[in-house]
Amino acid sequence: MNFHYKLLILIFTFLINVYSQNYYLILVSFDGFRWDYPSKELTPNLNFIEENGVKALSLQPSFPSNTFPNHISIVTGLYPQNHNIISNNIYDKFTGNYYSISDTSAVRNPKWYKGEMIWETARKQGIITASYFWPGSEINVEYRRPNYFEFYEHSRDYKTRVEGVLEWLKLPYDKRPRFINLYFDIVDTYGHKYGPKSEETNNAVKTVDSILGHLINGLKDIGIADSVNLIVLSDHGMTSTPSTKVINIEEIISNPQIKIFGKGPFVHLYGKKNDLDDAYKKLLNSKKNFSVYYKSEIPEYFNFKNNPMIGDIFVLADLGYSLLTNKDIIKDREYTKGNHGYDNNNIDMHGIFYAMGPSFKKGYKVGTIKNVNIYPLLCELLNIIPNQNIDGKLEEIEFILLR
């Protein structure tokens, strides 16, 4: 009797594991989709996920609240200081090299990426993966990429992207990816250009919600909707940046020996100690709308001081203010009307998190969650062992799962 009971338990456990491995996992990013955009009543498909799955009050980005750092944090479980993509643009003072999201060769250079991304973890454990545009997915090392991926093409039609995902899911079972991520930029693009409260941004919100509906219907049409765990999130939020809140930081420092790198919500300063000390005093005495820190003084709650690429001095603008240099400040220039990258504790910088599928609770609303906890959640959903050297914690997010 004991033997038969144990045998039944073993068989039952095996069947559960096999069944759970049949679930697909799709991770969708709506760049720059602020936490409160759904309250505009423009998102029937997100509302559908809310009713049938999980909705968080907000998703807190890692600092700085920029696109590439947070997309990498989501798929590595690491803060930017640890995965090394500390900004959309990086200056390496030791080599003089630059990383920029607009530089294809830099974006594909593996030396910049220090964390293990979810598709790397999954591939090591026999899971087929795919990515339809995601920062870090184009690395020039085959084993560090998803099994299937697309090189980023900004103007690629959104429905074409969704159809590409659906085609992957129609592949023969032994070639079909179990994990796929998918990216859309338009809400961020319009938020920058027109501001977060504009009609243009509202229309962008409607556009991505509509494309989400296209994905959900497509999963139904190919007959696998019940086997898909779907997560929809954003990397950060957006705030208004009026032209009346522009600060010329170069004018305050007034020292050509100081290298100023960055603009907008924050800048890094590099130079010799005497020059840096002088710049620090000038910035403190200016009493402008920003905070200034020696690298060692950056507050611990930012998790942003233990990386060699961070400036000797770091200047962070108050919400909505823009730090610019002489070349950025041009008379009659039309400045960006929205931006992000500010203090990640400010609610304007928070994004969204929605999830639906056989592994998630239904009609379950939670408070704010941290984006570094998503990587261990993805590993749990894929039934794989996560990289152990991460900042994220499964125990801080697993309560959204059915047990």
Same domain, 63 and 173: yes
Last residue of a domain, one of 304, 335, 366: 335
Residue 204 falls within a domain, yes or no? yes
Domain that holds residue 192: 2-240+353-400
What size, in residues, is the chain?
403
Neighbours of 270 (CB within 10 A): 17
Is the sign of the CA dihedral 121, 99, 188, 153 positive or negative? negative
Residue 367 falls within a domain, yes or no? yes
Number of domains in the chain: 2
Is 160 catalytic? The answer is no
Residue 79 falls within a domain, yes or no? yes
Same domain, 220 and 145: yes
Same domain, 7 and 84: yes
Q: Which tokens in the block code for residue 170?
A: 């129609």
Q: What is the pTM of this model?
A: 0.94
Residue 342 falls within a domain, yes or no? no
Last residue of a domain, one of 286, 304, 335: 335
Same domain, 48 and 164: yes
Q: For the domain that residue 14 is a member of, what is the CATH number?
A: 3.40.720.10
Same domain, 57 and 118: yes
Distance (Å, rounded) from C-alpha 63 to C-alpha 344? 6
Last residue of a domain, one of 285, 301, 335: 335
Look at residue 362 in the predicted model and tell me its pLDDT.
98
Look at residue 22 in the predicted model and tell me its pLDDT.
77
Residue 256 falls within a domain, yes or no? yes
Look at residue 50 in the predicted model and tell me its pLDDT.
98
Same domain, 229 and 93: yes
**CB 378 within 8 Å of CB 27:** yes
Same domain, 27 and 107: yes
Look at residue 287 in the predicted model and tell me its pLDDT.
85
Distance (Å, rounded) from C-alpha 96 to C-alpha 105? 16
Residue 341 falls within a domain, yes or no? no
Distance (Å, rounded) from C-alpha 220 to C-alpha 162? 13
**Amino acid at the residue 378:** L
Same domain, 258 and 236: no
Residue 303 falls within a domain, yes or no? yes
Q: For the domain that residue 306 is a member of, what is the CATH number?
A: 3.30.1360.180
Same domain, 183 and 53: yes
Same domain, 233 and 213: yes
- Terminal-to-terminal C-alpha distance of the chain: 28
Distance (Å, rounded) from C-alpha 303 to C-alpha 322? 22
Look at residue 329 in the predicted model and tell me its pLDDT.
86
Which residue among the candidates 43, 67, 201, 241 is catalytic per the annotation? 67
Same domain, 284 and 388: no
Q: Which of 324, 336, 375, 364 is nearest to 78 (CA)?
A: 375
Same domain, 104 and 177: yes
Look at residue 31 in the predicted model and tell me its pLDDT.
98
Residue 343 falls within a domain, yes or no? no
| Series of mean pLDDT values for 10-residue runs along the chain (403 residues) | 49 44 91 97 98 98 98 98 98 96 97 98 98 97 97 97 98 98 98 98 98 98 98 98 95 97 98 98 95 98 97 98 91 79 98 98 98 98 98 98 93
